[in-house]
Structure 1
Amino acid sequence: MHVSTYFSLRPSSMLWYLLMILARLRDDMVSFIRLFIFRFPFSYFWEKSNNLVLYIHNATRDLTKIPKHISFIVMEDDVDVAALSEAVVWCIVLGISCISIADKQGLLSRHRHQLDRLVTSRLYELNLPAKAVVCQPLTDTVSSDTSGDVAISVVLLSPATGRQLLATAAVALATADATTESSSANSTMEIKNHQEEISYQGVSVEQLDNKLRELSGLTDADLAFRIGPTDSLFLPSPWHFRLAEFYQVSSQKALRPEVFVAAKSNQTEDMSTTGAREGLVLGMGNPLLDLANTIDAAYLAKYNLKPNDAILAGPEHAQIFDDLIGRPDTQYIPGGATQNAIRVAQWLLRTPKATSMFGCVRLDDDIGKRLRDCMETAGVRPAYQCLPNSEPTGRCAVLISGEDRSLVTQLGSAGQFTEAHLDDPTNWAIVEAAQFYYVAGFFLTVCPPALMRIAEHSLAAGKTLMMNLSAPFICQFFKEPLLAAMPYVDVLFGNETEAETYAKEAGLPNPADARSVAVALAAMPLKPRPSGGDSAPRSRLVLITQGKGPVVAARSDGSVTEFPVRQLAPHELVDTNGAGDAFAGGFIAQYALGKPLELHNAQRSGQGYWLLMRLVYCLTDDLFAW
């Protein structure tokens, strides 16, 4: 909505001095004087207010789309109610129908009536036919009685709100499931008594998504302002920010109309889609079912395992899987490094079937069916090779100790993928349709010929091949296929341990220096594209993560950039399982959309999803096991 009223005369000097004196009086008196002088065309305040409306109107008149939901995320320790109330008014002037404000301390809920009063007063000054309804999820009901005005929802969020929403959603889904399965559970107390019998086998991410939207009354924010320090991943409530375009503002006091307009004008993305087409990204790897549980140092020592490592299971590790299956608190999670990253990329790309997944599962076992259903629910096309007489579908023991995780993988049928899968015309059409390919280093243990075939196609067609070192043992024992693939790799991921292991195996100096190793990996020879194709010189980008340390980004030209990692508070960190895959998935999505190299965006998206994913696991037991 844009309101335009034109007055041209300025106030006399006498009125100006009078208003300056009155400005020192109480807010009520000032408001009274302002309302009184609205009736006169020489009103200074009215003209100033009207200029604000005209400024926003004129600065945004050429926009072809307006966001439905704008969010302000306050990272500072205190809240400036006056500044935030002004920001709410600007949104209303622009025509935003839903506004949310989150603060990490939860302080704004204590000042909701002050916020409501300031916004209402400002809207009256501007003569805008709108009414702001300040509310909180789960505790308030927005009244539809607005006396003819347009109702604008201003929703207050906090960490407590997020936890309450997740817990309420989990209980609601469990209650519905228990009610369906047991007609005798007719009361909340009876349902609680049957809690151990509740199954989440029929619950999907879409159902949880819909329930959270229903409870909060919020859609995903189209544009989000992060206000204050950037050293935190704080997001107050799940789901509401996964699709948001973020704009950083230094402080609440720095919120000015020109900042607001600049952020909106720079947001050129379609509000409902990223523009990703179907089949844009193809992953090829080992589809697994993760069995996750917390263990102690003695358990690791029993099987000669390291706290933060990844290995293939041997005969001596068979008992681990039986142990985990026998534990009632084991979490069953669709996994596998490539599959994890592809799911995150799909979640961010939004377009159904923007991503596809190659891998091998057993045709007739329950785990394989669960994985296919999981990927379809997530929007990924699971183009698996399904073998009728193969080993059982692969699984991975995720052993969590403190902030570390140790992975023990039993490939099963995932290790029986063959190049013949690419001979199927339907599958090769998926290869040809993709523009970006992602393969974890673990796949080098399975079928290097399939990787090389896709690598050759990527090179010839001028596409992008991305690969991950994945684990130290890949650099130690699968050097030959790794080195064979490297000339085709455009983007390489790895962590500091994998980089150090590679450097030692390659005889590089300073193997513990992630920066120098990244430069060396980026400088490895690249195979030129065939004549007649893209004549532009090829360049490789190497990304090395270092846990809490900065992400190192090195290019073939020798340039290096380090991106600091936002530190998590101890209570925010559950474990590191999936963090690297989430980082890769977040980066893949942004890279595929042609976004500039701003790793903090990929990291924010990826790690934000990881934290949410882990939190949901904790609250809903094996919700993601389907």
Structure 2
Amino acid sequence: MGGVVSSEDESRKRDEEDESEDEDSIDEDSDDSGDSSEDDSDEEESEDDSESLLDGELVEEVDSNTDTSFFGESDTSDSSDDDSEDEEEEVRQEVIITENMMVGFGLPLLEIKAKVGAGYIKRFELTAGSRSVAGEKQISLYKELCGWFSTEFLPGGGALNVIRVAQWMLPLPKATSIVGAIGTDENGKRVSEACTAAGIVPMFYEQETDITGCVAKLSVDAGPAGSTVTQITHLSAGNAYSKQRHLDLEQNWDRVKEAEYFFIPGLFLTVCPETTLAVGEMSSEKGKTFALTLGNPQLCRLYKDTQLAVLRYVDFLFSNAETALSFAQENDFETTDLAEIARKMCLLPKVNSNKPRVVVITQGVGPTVVARGYDEVHEFEVDEIENKDGPAGLGDFFIGGFLGQLVQGHGLERCVEGGHFAVQELLQHGNKLSGECPFE
């Protein structure tokens, strides 16, 4: 749950309000009240929410209080106070989930999972348990895996991970689409089929010059200690995306414009910044929602001007702590305090000033920092689960879980809970995301 970081004036005001309350009352901003409030809220939703499927659109009715908070809905209301709850007038807000509601852009990869022997790892000069980028000696590995071993295919790459988690949380197939470049090869067909199986509509630029990008995850049995996973990535065709040859085609641009939410990872700025700027400009002009990640510290150094140009259109900005600190240093924020960095990111120029920017900074096992505007900063504790393997994609899963709730009209607290839930899913059960999403 979230602890509030506020100004001195807000603190004094809250202290005065606390003094006027009865000694037995529960402070709705405290961490202790959060769990019970969440449980009661979930019970109400299960009793009151109704759904109907009409002409390919799923209509969900979501309860919210008239008096909204920083979180935008009734997620933070103190539901333990029955008397005050009875006095509040509730309204029903309709959220219409449609096909193609969110579009992601990125570097699509075919994720290939296979169990191999330790000798196979050594043959390709890989270090067991490492994560690396393929060189010339490893290129043939991907074709061999598909022919020599029993393999499992999943949509892969940062953007596809985000979209796959979001789609898993959404109650309607084909609510998401993905844009990027693949090759006209067998692995290109496989990644498209894997997207379709996950309920994602592939909108790929298929080109013949480069082969489809792949990420191999090689599992080696380590006896009683479990298994080690060695990951090796080859971006290849992912770097070949062309706005002129794909997005500028009328049928593709028209489909993108139909969406209400857009997600682009920072790495895509190195591939096709003009696409990112075009989508951001369109989104701001039409009052839609545009989400971006900062990527990594190196991007903050080498693509600073491009980042700042795109940030003018960004409604939701995601970063981990290391990258946020690098961004702050490159832009002379003169602070290492993540709450203050989030505030300053919110205050960077924004074209659509009617929609305050939200900045989300994750810290691994540390609290997740969420800011909207200069004075609204909240911290959310993370439930820690030991996982010695430290799987890749934790940040992607958090963003996917967050956006999966945002698209459904939930407030920010619920969105963060969705992100944390998706991370726990990855830690406990891996990234397959089989079956229906159990998040409630």
C-alpha distance in structure 2 between counterparts of 1:265 and 1:397, whole Å: 40
C-alpha distance in structure 1 between counterparts of 2:309 and 2:41, whole Å: 50
C-alpha distance in structure 1 between counterparts of 2:317 and 2:219, whole Å: 26
Cα distance change of structure 1 residues 616 and 375 upon mapping to structure 2, 3 Å threshold: closer
Correspondences of 1:235-274 after superposition (within 5 Å):
263=44, 267-270=48-51
Equivalent in 394, 401, 404 of residue 213 of structure 2: 394
Query: Does 2:99 align with 1:278?
Result: yes
**Alpha-carbon shift at residue 315 of structure 1 (Å):** 5.7
C-alpha distance in structure 2 between counterparts of 1:563 and 1:413, whole Å: 38
Give TM-score, length-normalised by structure 1: 0.48
Cα distance change of structure 1 residues 497 and 309 upon mapping to structure 2, 3 Å threshold: farther
C-alpha distance in structure 2 between counterparts of 1:608 and 1:263, whole Å: 24
Deviations 1:403-449 (A, max 9, x none): 99997542211111111211222211211110110001111111111
The equivalent of 1:478 in structure 2 is 303
Cα distance change of structure 1 residues 541 and 427 upon mapping to structure 2, 3 Å threshold: same
Cα distance change of structure 1 residues 324 and 484 upon mapping to structure 2, 3 Å threshold: farther
**Alpha-carbon shift at residue 390 of structure 1 (Å):** 1.9
C-alpha distance in structure 1 between counterparts of 2:301 and 2:138, whole Å: 21
C-alpha distance in structure 2 between counterparts of 1:483 and 1:308, whole Å: 36
C-alpha distance in structure 2 between counterparts of 1:544 and 1:308, whole Å: 27
Asked whether the equivalents of residues 109 and 213 of structure 2 are also in contact (C-alpha less than 8 Å), the reply is: yes
Asked whether the equivalents of residues 475 and 498 of structure 1 are also in contact (C-alpha less than 8 Å), the reply is: yes
Cα distance change of structure 1 residues 317 and 616 upon mapping to structure 2, 3 Å threshold: closer
C-alpha distance in structure 2 between counterparts of 1:443 and 1:404, whole Å: 30
Cα distance change of structure 1 residues 306 and 450 upon mapping to structure 2, 3 Å threshold: farther
**Alpha-carbon shift at residue 325 of structure 1 (Å):** 7.7
Deviations 1:233-285 (A, max 9, x none): xxxxxxxxxxxxxxxxx9xxx99xx9699626764242889741111101011
**Alpha-carbon shift at residue 377 of structure 1 (Å):** 1.2
The equivalent of 2:287 in structure 1 is 462
Correspondences of 1:319-338 after superposition (within 5 Å):
332-338=153-159
Equivalent in 180, 183, 187 of residue 367 of structure 1: 187
Deviations 1:77-120 (A, max 9, x none): xxxxxxxxxxxxxxxxxxxxxxxxxxxxxxxxxxxxxxxxxxxx
Count of equivalent residues = 350
Tell me, which stretches of 5 or more residues in structure 1 are unaligned?
Answer: 1-249, 530-535, 619-626
Higher strand share: 2
The equivalent of 2:405 in structure 1 is 590
Three-state SS of the structure 1 residue aligned to 2:172 is: coil
Query: Does 2:335 align with 1:519?
Result: no
**Alpha-carbon shift at residue 604 of structure 1 (Å):** 4.3
Asked whether the equivalents of residues 278 and 355 of structure 1 are also in contact (C-alpha less than 8 Å), the reply is: yes
Asked whether the equivalents of residues 285 and 439 of structure 1 are also in contact (C-alpha less than 8 Å), the reply is: yes
C-alpha distance in structure 2 between counterparts of 1:538 and 1:426, whole Å: 29
Correspondences of 1:36-75 after superposition (within 5 Å):
none
Equivalent in 532, 539, 543 of residue 360 of structure 2: 543
Give TM-score, length-normalised by structure 2: 0.67
Deviations 1:2-38 (A, max 9, x none): xxxxxxxxxxxxxxxxxxxxxxxxxxxxxxxxxxxxx
Asked whether the equivalents of residues 552 and 563 of structure 1 are also in contact (C-alpha less than 8 Å), the reply is: yes
Cα distance change of structure 1 residues 262 and 380 upon mapping to structure 2, 3 Å threshold: closer
Three-state SS of the structure 1 residue aligned to 2:194 is: helix
Cα distance change of structure 1 residues 522 and 609 upon mapping to structure 2, 3 Å threshold: same
Percent sequence identity is: 31
Three-state SS of the structure 2 residue aligned to 1:383 is: strand
How big is the alpha-carbon RMSD for the aligned residues of Structure 1 and Structure 2? 4.3
Q: Which has the higher contact order (CA 8 A, sep 6+)?
A: 2
**Alpha-carbon shift at residue 480 of structure 1 (Å):** 2.8
**Alpha-carbon shift at residue 605 of structure 1 (Å):** 4.0
Equivalent in 413, 424, 445 of residue 237 of structure 2: 413
Cα distance change of structure 1 residues 327 and 471 upon mapping to structure 2, 3 Å threshold: farther
- Bigger Cα Rg: 1
Asked whether the equivalents of residues 526 and 538 of structure 1 are also in contact (C-alpha less than 8 Å), the reply is: no
The equivalent of 2:270 in structure 1 is 445
Deviations 1:167-215 (A, max 9, x none): xxxxxxxxxxxxxxxxxxxxxxxxxxxxxxxxxxxxxxxxxxxxxxxxx
The equivalent of 1:568 in structure 2 is 385
**Alpha-carbon shift at residue 498 of structure 1 (Å):** 1.8
Deviations 1:504-561 (A, max 9, x none): 3334434xx46246425523423334xxxxxx62311111111111111122223211
**Alpha-carbon shift at residue 495 of structure 1 (Å):** 1.1
Cα distance change of structure 1 residues 515 and 346 upon mapping to structure 2, 3 Å threshold: same
Asked whether the equivalents of residues 243 and 275 of structure 2 are also in contact (C-alpha less than 8 Å), the reply is: yes
**Alpha-carbon shift at residue 391 of structure 1 (Å):** 0.5
Three-state SS of the structure 1 residue aligned to 2:263 is: strand
Equivalent in 482, 485, 492 of residue 317 of structure 2: 492
C-alpha distance in structure 1 between counterparts of 2:287 and 2:346, whole Å: 20
The equivalent of 1:348 in structure 2 is 169
Three-state SS of the structure 2 residue aligned to 1:415 is: helix
